[in-house]
Amino acid sequence: MGMMRRKKVPVPPALRWLAVVAVAAALPAFSQAGSPATMPAEPAARPQPVEYRDELGRRVVLRGTPQRIVSLAPSITETLFALNLGERVAGVTNYCDYPAEALTRPRVGGPINPDLEQIVSLHPDLVVATRSLNRQETVTALERLGMAVYTTDPRTVEEVVASTRRLGKLLGADARGEELAATLEERLADLAHRLAGHAPRRVFFVVWTDPIISTGPHTFLADALRHAGAESVVTTDQDWPHINIEEVLRQNPEYLVFSGTHPEDPQTLIAGLRKRAGWSSLEAVRAGHFAIVSDALSRPAPRIVDAIEDLARQLHPDLFPPPPTPAATPPSSRGGTR
């Protein structure tokens, strides 16, 4: 062991060497860090920059009307197509499946963790994000890369309509946005008029069954339920709470509401629930009180009003005239909504 006594000898030169390398490596990092990425010089003949505020109050600077838009959420994609701006949609997320045309657009990954490289390669002049689905970090990263990012934040059905109108204005589709928003408002007002004076149905909205996840009272989904003449029995403060089956039994909801986002067909799901302990004792299950709506109910986009009307009809059939066409809507024919 005596040879190990020379322990102190080689350390200083090696340490010095390490320090030199480290400092050399650190220098460019210091100079490059801190400041946002420098943008290449803009060609002269471009429209003047105009400053807008997005729905979070953040500054968004646009040069001219955006022509290439990347959408970071299914609801945004739907809204853009509803505004007749589908031509300008340059990129969508992996989950953007409505309308069918959206499936033909380049994918940029998932909303939580999109591929920045792919977004940059699409040369968008605007990226639209939404607060309920995207991450703040993604928005910051895109802005550091010199992208203009507009964030929507609708938390109620009314705000979905307002947000649609605002997006139309921002993208130079004022007339279409106004028309769309006015129609939606009219339909909502008509629905409110029909439902006025009738007690809302006490419902349990099933986001997921294993584990049981429902929606809290502060989400736009809960607001959509209210508009459809329903009231969620869940009163917790969390947005997407895990609920114990005992609590569902205790609350004894009149209806179970399912939306089509669930990977299993709601019909098979219901057949399964009928056989399961706990679920099978629910009065709503025994009475067959199920309402099944398209996943549009959980997307803050114009189509949410279709889903609200559909749900209202299922929960309050007596308040609506029978459907005009004899080919009514058996549950199996609802497969068209994705």
Partner 1 sequence: MIRPLTPRRLLLTCAGLGGILLLVVFFSLKFGTRSISVTDLAVFLFRTATGRGDTAASDFRLIILDIRWPRILLAMIVGAALSVAGASFQALLRNPLADPYVLGVSSGAGLGSILTLIWAAEMPAATPFGAFAGAVLATSAVYLLGQRGGDLDSYALLLGGIITASFLSALIMFLMTTISGRELRGMAFWLMGDLSTPSPVPAGWLVLVLVLGSGAIYTTAADLNLLLSGEQEAMHLGVDVGRVKIVVYLGASVLTGLAVSVSGAVGYVGLMVPHLVRLLFGSDYRLLLPATALGGAIVVVLADTLARTVVAPTQLPVGAMTALVGAPVFIYLLRRRIA
Which residues contact partner 1 (rule: CB under 8 A)? 1, 3-5, 7-8, 10-11, 13-15, 17-19, 21-23, 25-26, 29-34, 37, 39-40, 94, 107-110, 112-118, 120-121, 123, 131-132, 135-138, 140-141, 144-146, 216, 237-239, 242
Amino acid sitting at position 159? E
- Closer residue to partner 1 (CB): 21 or 103: 21
Integer Cα distance of 316 and 49 in angstroms: 51
CA distances from 249 to 9, 160, 214, 232, 287 (A): 75, 33, 14, 14, 14
- Beta pairing class for 59-63 and 49-53: antiparallel
CB of 113 to partner 1, least distance (A): 5
How far is C-alpha 92 from the geometric centre of its chain's CA atoms?
A: 12
CB of 95 to partner 1, least distance (A): 11
Say which residue the tokens 């005596």 belong to: 2
CB of 74 to partner 1, least distance (A): 15
CB of 238 to partner 1, least distance (A): 5
Which region, left, alpha or beta, applies to residue 32 given φ > 0 means left and ψ of -120 to 50 means alpha? alpha
Structure-token pair, residue 335: 């497969």
Amino acid sitting at position 321? P
The secondary structure of residue 208, as a DSSP letter, is B
Cβ 315 vs Cβ 255: under 8 Å: yes
CB of 210 to partner 1, least distance (A): 16
CB of 149 to partner 1, least distance (A): 15
- Closer residue to partner 1 (CB): 2 or 317: 2
Instruction: Say how many CA atoms lie within 13 Å of 123 toward its Cβ.
Output: 1
Structure-token pair, residue 277: 């302990």
- Closer residue to partner 1 (CB): 110 or 172: 110
- Closer residue to partner 1 (CB): 22 or 192: 22
- Closer residue to partner 1 (CB): 137 or 283: 137
The secondary structure of residue 92, as a DSSP letter, is B
Q: Collapsing DSSP states into helix, strand and coil, what is residue 112?
A: coil
CB of 194 to partner 1, least distance (A): 34
